[in-house]
Amino acid sequence: GKNWSTSIGSESYHARRQQPCIWLGDTVRGVAWMGGSDANWVLTKQPNVRVKRLGETVFLEVKLIQRPVEVTRSLTYTFSVQATPVRPPTPHAREFCFSVEGERNTVGWEGNWFRNGTPLQAYPQERQNRDWTLWRQWYPRGLFPYFALYRVGSESEIVQEKSQRWEDGKPVEGPPYNESRICIGSKPWCDWLLKWAAESLKYEEVGGIYLDVCHLARCDSPLHGHQHQDQFGRDITARWNVQEQREIHKQLYELCESHKKKLVVHALTTWWPSVHGWAHHLLAGEDTYFKVNLDRNASTSDNPWAYTSTVPLGYWKTLHRLGPGMLFLPQFGRASPESDLKRVQPSRSVLGMIAAHGCGLYNMYINRNQGEKLYRELLEPYADADFYPYWESNEYAHHPLLVSFYERPSGQRMVIYVNPTDQLVRVGDRTVAPRDFLLVDKRGR
């Protein structure tokens, strides 16, 4: 994405190819344009997307045809335009948190992810038939079964039987992944996924569905009708399943709603408003991996202060304006040495940014004690509070700090002062250390 700044001027040009999603907005509202195919697009080497500012109004222009062409048949285009946020914020969103002590712990496994994960993706019926006595004893509620939207273990008999109808025609991404990639435009696959999601939600201890790898993907399989010619006679070999993915998300969301449970979605690095708006919570943060790990070597601690420096403020602000509650997943100990997890800093640097932007927390790849401390002091007790961000004028503003505050219905406030600089900053009779934050209880009006 691009962050608007006055240095761009009144016009900005982007892209040289068909884009499945273009999302334009500020910290409050926006508009998302989504299209599923490049059929009948006639582009040159020049950018075909223009953003233009005239006073307080910003225009988004998307050119589908950039040069003169002879049209001998009707041209068909399918796209959607949607305002954002796409829905009201999830109530009490910050109260929901994975991996804090108590009933919200995470159960998982380490190493050889795809081979060990195969039963969870390929055999949901096996999962349902297991003896859950110990699970119920350890975790009486709040279990979230793992489902992958695009992937399923290739050892499954049902996948071997139907793989040609389901797969998206692309190779598996290398050993030992042991999986098949799925086209979300395949209705039999969606029906199968919905069936076993419904079976999982029947269990009292299941709190909802965790849906992974939900990024928008293309399919070029002729078995799905995804190779054809457009009205200009050109071969179209890729199709973004925008409407199909929106529909499966909607059905899963409504299924969870009917059981009074939650749909938690992880889309890796990108959000598509008209698709991912159908979720109670979205998991963000994995796309900051290479901001923390600059040389792509996880054994070196390249950028421990990434979240207050190289991750731009524009990125943080976008997490606030989609609609579903955001859970932020830091990347320390994953993109950097595990020793980073034992240090109080740099974990407090990212926790401060999470709190200053009204996000929730996924308490992994971080110093867990520090994450739980923030959860107990702010995110949980102020889950019902109104959030007032630093980019709006407030009475606690204190340059160069980022100062946001939360106000509960009772009038109780919690102010967070985040120091993104390398210098100690004094606030009254207290100080905020470099790359650190300070929480202060105050009484509001």
What domains sit in the chain, N to C, each tagged with a CATH number? 6-84 (no CATH), 93-384 (3.20.20)
For residues 313 and 150, give the distance between their C-alpha atoms in angstroms, rounded to a whole number: 31
Q: Are 327 and 362 in contact (CB under 8 A)?
A: yes
User: Cα–Cα distance between 50 and 355 in angstroms, integer?
Assistant: 34
Taking the model in full, what pTM does it have? 0.86
Neighbouring-strand partners of residue 60: 51
Distances (CA, A) of 258 to 171, 214, 239: 37, 22, 32
Q: What is the pLDDT of residue 150?
A: 74
pLDDT (tens digit per residue) in 255-293? 999 999 999 999 866 788 889 999 999 999 998 988 888
Check if the beta carbon of residue 330 is closer than 8 Å to that of residue 304: no
Contact between 179 and 151 under an 8 Å Cβ cutoff? The reply is: yes
- 141, 207 in Cβ contact below 8 A? yes
Asked if 413 and 441 count as a contact pair (C-beta separation under 8 A), the reply is yes
Q: What DSSP element (H or E) covers 116?
A: helix 113-122
* 445 residues of the chain, pLDDT tens digit each: 555 554 456 777 766 566 788 888 888 888 888 888 888 999 888 888 888 888 878 888 888 999 999 999 999 988 889 998 888 888 888 988 887 665 444 444 434 444 444 444 434 445 555 555 666 666 666 778 778 777 665 555 555 555 556 665 554 555 454 566 778 887 878 888 898 889 889 888 888 998 888 888 778 777 777 778 889 988 886 678 888 889 999 999 999 999 999 999 998 667 888 899 999 999 999 989 888 888 777 777 668 888 998 898 988 988 877 789 999 999 998 888 888 899 998 899 999 999 999 999 999 999 999 999 999 999 999 999 999 999 998 899 999 999 999 999 999 999 999 999 999 999 999 999 999 999 999 876 5
The vertex-43 CA angle with 37 and 49, nearest 5°, equals 80
- Residue 127's CB is within 10 A of a number of other CB atoms, namely 17
